[in-house]
Protein backbone atom coordinates (compact mmCIF):
# COMPACT_ATOMS: atom_id res chain seq x y z
CA UNK A 1 0.00 0.00 0.00
CA UNK A 2 2.82 2.41 0.84
CA UNK A 3 4.50 1.65 -2.49
CA UNK A 4 1.28 2.54 -4.33
CA UNK A 5 0.97 5.79 -2.38
CA UNK A 6 4.58 6.56 -3.19
CA UNK A 7 3.90 6.02 -6.88
CA UNK A 8 0.78 8.23 -6.74
CA UNK A 9 2.57 11.09 -5.01
CA UNK A 10 5.63 10.69 -7.19
CA UNK A 11 3.55 10.75 -10.36
CA UNK A 12 2.44 14.33 -9.70
CA UNK A 13 6.01 15.45 -9.37
CA UNK A 14 7.02 13.41 -12.40
CA UNK A 15 4.21 15.11 -14.31
CA UNK A 16 5.55 18.40 -13.16
CA UNK A 17 8.65 17.50 -15.25
CA UNK A 18 8.80 14.60 -17.85
CA UNK A 19 7.81 16.58 -20.89
CA UNK A 20 9.62 19.69 -19.77
CA UNK A 21 12.93 17.90 -20.08
CA UNK A 22 12.28 17.36 -23.76
CA UNK A 23 10.71 20.76 -24.19
CA UNK A 24 13.57 22.43 -22.31
CA UNK A 25 16.03 20.73 -24.62
CA UNK A 26 14.12 21.85 -27.71
CA UNK A 27 13.42 25.27 -26.20
CA UNK A 28 17.09 25.68 -25.34
CA UNK A 29 18.06 24.85 -28.90
CA UNK A 30 15.53 27.37 -30.23
CA UNK A 31 16.72 30.04 -27.81
CA UNK A 32 20.33 29.37 -28.67
CA UNK A 33 19.77 29.63 -32.39
CA UNK A 34 17.42 32.64 -32.12
CA UNK A 35 19.53 34.68 -29.70
CA UNK A 36 23.15 34.21 -30.74
CA UNK A 37 25.59 37.08 -30.53
CA UNK A 38 28.24 37.73 -33.16
CA UNK A 39 30.49 35.30 -31.26
CA UNK A 40 27.80 32.62 -31.35
CA UNK A 41 26.80 32.51 -27.66
CA UNK A 42 23.41 33.13 -26.05
CA UNK A 43 22.97 36.43 -24.21
CA UNK A 44 21.28 35.14 -21.06
CA UNK A 45 19.58 37.65 -18.79
CA UNK A 46 21.07 36.80 -15.37
CA UNK A 47 18.63 39.01 -13.45
CA UNK A 48 15.64 37.37 -15.14
CA UNK A 49 17.11 33.94 -14.36
CA UNK A 50 17.34 34.83 -10.65
CA UNK A 51 13.79 36.18 -10.71
CA UNK A 52 12.63 32.91 -12.27
CA UNK A 53 14.40 30.89 -9.53
CA UNK A 54 12.49 32.92 -6.94
CA UNK A 55 9.19 32.26 -8.77
CA UNK A 56 9.86 28.52 -8.86
CA UNK A 57 10.40 28.54 -5.09
CA UNK A 58 7.02 30.30 -4.74
CA UNK A 59 5.43 27.56 -6.87
CA UNK A 60 6.96 24.94 -4.54
CA UNK A 61 5.40 26.75 -1.57
CA UNK A 62 2.01 26.70 -3.31
CA UNK A 63 2.33 22.99 -4.06
CA UNK A 64 3.45 22.17 -0.52
CA UNK A 65 0.48 24.05 0.94
CA UNK A 66 -1.92 22.62 -1.70
CA UNK A 67 -3.02 26.17 -2.54
CA UNK A 68 -4.85 25.62 -5.83
CA UNK A 69 -5.75 29.31 -6.26
CA UNK A 70 -2.12 30.33 -5.95
CA UNK A 71 -1.17 27.61 -8.45
CA UNK A 72 -3.89 28.92 -10.79
CA UNK A 73 -2.14 32.31 -10.81
CA UNK A 74 1.29 30.77 -11.48
CA UNK A 75 0.59 27.93 -13.96
CA UNK A 76 -1.02 28.64 -17.32
CA UNK A 77 -0.11 25.50 -19.28
CA UNK A 78 0.22 25.37 -23.05
CA UNK A 79 -1.69 23.55 -25.79
CA UNK A 80 1.44 22.92 -27.88
CA UNK A 81 4.12 22.37 -25.22
CA UNK A 82 1.86 20.01 -23.28
CA UNK A 83 2.51 18.40 -19.92
CA UNK A 84 2.47 14.62 -19.60
CA UNK A 85 1.95 12.61 -16.43
CA UNK A 86 0.54 9.42 -15.03
CA UNK A 87 -3.04 9.29 -13.75
CA UNK A 88 -2.81 8.71 -9.98
CA UNK A 89 -5.87 6.43 -10.00
CA UNK A 90 -5.30 4.32 -13.12
CA UNK A 91 -1.50 4.70 -13.45
CA UNK A 92 -2.03 5.32 -17.19
CA UNK A 93 -0.41 8.18 -19.13
CA UNK A 94 -2.35 11.43 -19.41
CA UNK A 95 -1.81 14.50 -21.59
CA UNK A 96 -2.54 17.89 -19.98
CA UNK A 97 -3.12 20.46 -22.71
CA UNK A 98 -4.44 23.48 -20.82
CA UNK A 99 -4.37 25.33 -17.54
CA UNK A 100 -7.74 23.83 -16.63
CA UNK A 101 -6.54 20.27 -17.32
CA UNK A 102 -3.45 20.85 -15.17
CA UNK A 103 -5.51 22.34 -12.34
CA UNK A 104 -8.06 19.51 -12.44
CA UNK A 105 -5.25 16.96 -12.34
CA UNK A 106 -3.58 18.82 -9.47
CA UNK A 107 -6.84 19.05 -7.50
CA UNK A 108 -7.41 15.30 -7.96
CA UNK A 109 -3.88 14.66 -6.74
CA UNK A 110 -4.37 16.89 -3.68
CA UNK A 111 -7.70 15.18 -2.88
CA UNK A 112 -6.02 11.79 -3.15
CA UNK A 113 -3.29 12.84 -0.72
CA UNK A 114 -5.81 14.29 1.72
CA UNK A 115 -8.06 11.22 1.53
CA UNK A 116 -5.14 8.88 2.24
CA UNK A 117 -3.76 11.15 4.97
CA UNK A 118 -0.41 11.61 3.22
CA UNK A 119 1.45 14.91 3.54
CA UNK A 120 3.88 15.65 0.69
CA UNK A 121 6.65 18.24 1.04
CA UNK A 122 9.35 19.24 -1.42
CA UNK A 123 12.45 20.11 0.54
CA UNK A 124 15.73 21.84 -0.22
CA UNK A 125 15.40 22.22 -3.97
CA UNK A 126 18.58 23.10 -5.84
CA UNK A 127 17.34 25.31 -8.66
CA UNK A 128 19.11 26.81 -11.67
CA UNK A 129 17.24 28.97 -14.20
CA UNK A 130 18.13 30.74 -17.43
CA UNK A 131 16.00 33.32 -19.20
CA UNK A 132 16.09 35.37 -22.37
CA UNK A 133 13.52 37.50 -24.19
CA UNK A 134 10.61 36.53 -21.94
CA UNK A 135 11.27 32.78 -22.08
CA UNK A 136 12.83 30.79 -19.26
CA UNK A 137 13.88 27.28 -18.40
CA UNK A 138 14.82 25.83 -15.02
CA UNK A 139 16.30 22.60 -13.76
CA UNK A 140 16.12 21.42 -10.19
CA UNK A 141 16.97 18.59 -7.87
CA UNK A 142 14.94 18.08 -4.72
CA UNK A 143 13.72 15.61 -2.14
CA UNK A 144 10.03 14.89 -1.75
CA UNK A 145 9.10 13.60 1.67
CA UNK A 146 5.85 11.69 2.02
CA UNK A 147 4.61 11.63 5.61
CA UNK A 148 2.26 8.65 5.97
CA UNK A 149 -0.64 8.38 8.45
CA UNK A 150 1.13 5.60 10.40
CA UNK A 151 3.96 8.02 11.25
CA UNK A 152 6.43 6.61 8.75
CA UNK A 153 7.98 8.61 5.94
CA UNK A 154 9.14 7.90 2.41
CA UNK A 155 11.68 10.01 0.62
CA UNK A 156 12.05 10.42 -3.12
CA UNK A 157 14.94 12.10 -4.92
CA UNK A 158 13.60 13.96 -7.94
CA UNK A 159 14.96 15.98 -10.85
CA UNK A 160 12.90 18.44 -12.81
CA UNK A 161 12.80 20.74 -15.81
CA UNK A 162 10.33 23.61 -16.06
CA UNK A 163 9.46 26.13 -18.80
CA UNK A 164 8.05 29.61 -18.23
CA UNK A 165 7.03 32.70 -20.18
CA UNK A 166 7.01 36.26 -18.90
CA UNK A 167 3.68 38.04 -19.15
CA UNK A 168 2.51 41.50 -18.01
CA UNK A 169 1.86 40.20 -14.49
CA UNK A 170 5.07 38.17 -14.17
CA UNK A 171 6.45 34.71 -14.94
CA UNK A 172 3.95 31.95 -15.72
CA UNK A 173 4.75 28.23 -15.87
CA UNK A 174 3.71 26.57 -19.11
CA UNK A 175 5.25 23.10 -18.92
CA UNK A 176 7.16 20.85 -16.54
CA UNK A 177 8.49 17.39 -15.99
CA UNK A 178 9.78 15.67 -12.90
CA UNK A 179 11.22 12.18 -12.64
CA UNK A 180 12.80 10.06 -9.97
CA UNK A 181 16.55 10.49 -9.60
CA UNK A 182 16.86 7.21 -7.73
CA UNK A 183 14.90 4.71 -5.68
CA UNK A 184 12.38 5.73 -3.03
CA UNK A 185 13.43 5.07 0.52
CA UNK A 186 11.06 4.20 3.35
CA UNK A 187 12.15 5.84 6.57
CA UNK A 188 11.03 4.43 9.90
CA UNK A 189 9.24 6.44 12.59
Block mean pLDDT (10 aa), the chain, length 189: 49 44 44 51 94 94 93 93 82 89 92 91 89 96 90 89 94 87 62
Residue 102 belongs to some domain of the structure:
yes
**Nearest-5° Cα angle at 186, 183 to 189:** 160
Q: What is the pLDDT of residue 181?
A: 75
Q: What is the pLDDT of residue 91?
A: 78
Q: What is the pLDDT of residue 24?
A: 44
How far, rounded to the nearest angstrom, does the alpha carbon of residue 78 sit from its chain's CA centroid? 14
Q: What is the pLDDT of residue 189?
A: 52
Look up the domain containing 143 and give its range. Answer: 2-36+47-187
Residue 76 belongs to some domain of the structure:
yes
Q: What is the pLDDT of residue 93?
A: 86
Q: What is the pLDDT of residue 18?
A: 40
Residue 62 belongs to some domain of the structure:
yes
Residue 165 belongs to some domain of the structure:
yes
What is the number of structural domains in the chain? 1
Q: What is the pLDDT of residue 44?
A: 95
Q: What is the pLDDT of residue 19?
A: 41
Beta strand 93-96 pairing with 83-86: antiparallel
Residue 41 belongs to some domain of the structure:
no
Residue 42 belongs to some domain of the structure:
no
Q: What is the pLDDT of residue 179?
A: 79
Backbone angles phi, psi at 114, to 5 degrees: -65, -45
Residue 134 belongs to some domain of the structure:
yes
Q: What is the pTM of this model?
A: 0.73
Say how far apart CA 74 and CA 174 lie, in whole Å: 9
Residue 120 belongs to some domain of the structure:
yes
Q: What is the pLDDT of residue 94?
A: 86
Which CATH number do you get for residue 103?
Answer: 3.10.450.50
Amino acid sequence: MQKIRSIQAGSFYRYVMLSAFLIAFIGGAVLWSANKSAEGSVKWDAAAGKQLEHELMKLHESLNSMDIESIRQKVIGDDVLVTFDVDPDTLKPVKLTSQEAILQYTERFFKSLKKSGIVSKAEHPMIACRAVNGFGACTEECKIKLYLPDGSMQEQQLRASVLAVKQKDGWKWIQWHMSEAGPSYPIQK
